[in-house]
Amino acid sequence: MRRFLITSTSILVSLLPIAAAFAEDWPQWGGPQRDLTWRETGIVKELKTKDLLPRVWATPIGAGYAGPAVANGKVFVMDRSAEGERVLCLNADTGQEIWKHEYAARYTVSYPLGPRCTPTVDDGRVFTVGAMGHLFCFEEQTGKVLWQKNFVEDFGTRLPIWGMVHAPLVEGNQVILLVGGENALVVSFDKVTGKELWRALDDREVGYAPPMIFTFGKHRQLIIWHPSAVSALDPSNGKQLWQVPYQVRSGLTVMTPRQVGNRLFVASFYNGPRMIEVADDGKSARVLWSGKSDSEQRTDGVHPIIMTPVFDGSHIYGIDSYDHMRGLDASNGKRLWETLDATGQGRWWNCFLVPHEDRFFLHNEQGELLIAKLTPAGYQEISRAKLVEPTQPIQRRMTVWSHPAFAMKSVFARNDKEIVRVSLAE
């Protein structure tokens, strides 16, 4: 018996480093659960420097707004090249290139810096959408093209002024995308073969918000926030379940819809916030409250342009159209506080908020990484340091507008010159 205990203990001890070394991926926009939340443990409580954070590696990259995805020891990211657009696959440990795919894409969109869309990695495949509507399904290991679509040529898509932005959504055997063709605002493809499974909705504009799957009560629903409404579809066949009208100026449906229980929160740059309540049977929905302002200058609540506010059930935290970070009461949208501490001042200012345990990691457009607490009482900064240099001139300031990935106890971030990995392990 004593020999058995010693052997068992030895096996257990030998497995501990494997368990400790386990690290969560960030395989798509918003991370594993597509909710922009980082759940890994063993992460630093504060940054140890106020200067440039030490890199695990840095790899040259072209321009673009697309954030990286991290999965299975690889980093996937898109950029713009002399030929058009590229999809890059890098070794997550070293930053060295594993494969790349380059294709022609002549830009006709505003802000033609590069691709906007975070790749989606699922079951040995990588799905990417370029700014001009090129959809690819790659073999993860080799970069071989398994199938592809061209939204403009195949569906008659009317490209939005700022290009195709949304991130592909994998649901079972489907990959669901905003396409924007006639009666094909949303299209579902077989993720293995690329065969069209169903199409749904029509809108004059495509919008930019990613498709999302939420469960309200016992009802699993596909939420599409498009420029004329918030629509819920049956994800198995695209049948509409309910719709709440919400006309958004300039097609600026950008933020990722947020759900807590039977409530759904969205907010736009011009037209402000809406809190929607879905009925228990999942067949109808109504607006609980909404902002009163349709101006990005005279705002109430929060009017975000690029970032996605955090909705935790009782409170909302987000960046307003002209730079202020705000805290709101989620029961009525009333503003509790605002601050400029995490941002600068100017139009379209941006800062990404990523909850982690009892605090937040913030990546602002100056290329800084901040750790802070956001509570109903206000903003409390813990530490900040430089993550990457801002490289894109906007409104007489230099910016970086790409969302980082938080995986492998690290942050992976890019600007228009390089992509870096910085360890945040405790």
DSSP 151-173: HHHHH-----TT---PPPEEETT
Residue 37 burial (10 A CB sphere; 0-12, 13-18, 19+): middle
Beta-carbon-side half-sphere exposure of residue 291 (alpha carbons within 13 Å): 26
Q: State how far the Cα of 204 lies from the Cα of 183, in Å rounded to an integer.
A: 10
Q: What is the pLDDT along the chain (426 residues), one digit of tens a residue?
A: 434 333 333 333 334 333 334 579 999 999 999 999 999 999 999 999 999 999 999 999 999 999 999 999 999 999 999 889 999 999 999 999 999 999 999 999 999 999 999 999 999 999 999 999 999 999 999 999 999 999 999 999 999 999 999 999 999 999 999 999 999 999 999 999 999 999 999 999 999 999 999 999 899 999 999 999 999 999 999 999 999 999 999 999 999 999 999 999 999 999 999 999 999 999 999 999 999 888 888 888 999 999 999 999 999 999 998 889 999 999 999 999 999 999 887 788 899 999 999 999 999 999 999 999 999 999 999 999 999 999 999 888 999 999 999 999 999 999 999 999 999 999
Is the four-CA dihedral 200, 403, 251, 158 of positive or negative sign?
negative
Q: State how far the Cα of 279 lies from the Cα of 292, in Å rounded to an integer.
A: 24
Q: Where do the domains of the chain lie, and which CATH numbers do they carry?
A: 23-423 (2.130.10.10)
Choose among 168, 158, 156, 183: nearest CA to 130.
168
Q: State how far the Cα of 184 lies from the Cα of 366, in Å rounded to an integer.
A: 38
